[in-house]
């Protein structure tokens, strides 16, 4: 399993969203995309992270960036999670962990699905990778910092 790193082209993927729509990474060509992998809907850490992305969503939008959360939860679970916390961004269902494996997201302690955020630029190149299982807000802070840098580049 190769790990996607800064400077690599992000692997394209196609998954179902919480609304049942089919979403591909290539749909967002020409704009920055934040793809964050998280372990499980409606758990304390994942809720804190999702709500932090929600609370900064307007800033991401103003920077022209799209936020996408991915876990192995079902589209139904994503829909409930999204509604419960009024999440304005896409949550994609990677039930076979195919996309998680394509990005090389490591497991924590070999068991828990990893929490990694990728900032992908307008050309589809990974510009930043933030890997922290427990620094939930750090994922949002780092992504915002890099997206702002991309705006001025």
Among 91, 138, 88, 102, smallest CA distance to 117 is for: 138
Task: Answer whether 128's CB lies under 8 Å from 146's CB.
Answer: yes
Cα separation, 112 vs 105, whole angstroms? 11
Burial 39-51 (b: 16+ CB within 10 A, else e): bebeeebbbebbb
Which tokens sit at 53?
């992305």
Specify whether the backbone of 109 is left (phi greater than 0), alpha (psi in -120 to 50) or beta.
left
Catalytic residues: 46
Residue that the structure tokens 């799209």 belong to:
66
* Number of CB atoms found within 10 A of residue 128's CB: 18
Confirm if 29 and 62 have CB atoms less than 8 A apart. no
């Amino acid at each position: 399993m190769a790990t996607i790193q800064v400077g690599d082209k992000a692997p394209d993927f196609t998954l179902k969203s919480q609304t049942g729509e089919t979403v591909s990474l290539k749909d967002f060509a020409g704009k920055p995309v934040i793809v964050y992998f998280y372990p499980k809907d409606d758990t304390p850490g994942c809720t804190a992270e999702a709500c932090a992305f929600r609370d900064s969503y307007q800033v991401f939008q103003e920077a022209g960036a799209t936020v996408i959360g991915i876990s192995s939860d079902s589209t139904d679970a994503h829909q409930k999670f999204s509604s419960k916390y009024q999440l304005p961004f896409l949550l994609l269902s990677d039930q076979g962990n195919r996309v998680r494996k394509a990005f090389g997201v490591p497991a924590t302690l070999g068991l828990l699905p990893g929490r990694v955020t990728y900032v992908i630029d307008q050309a589809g190149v990974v510009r930043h990778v933030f890997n922290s299982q427990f620094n939930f807000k750090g994922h949002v802070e780092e992504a915002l910092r890099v997206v702002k840098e991309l705006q001025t580049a």
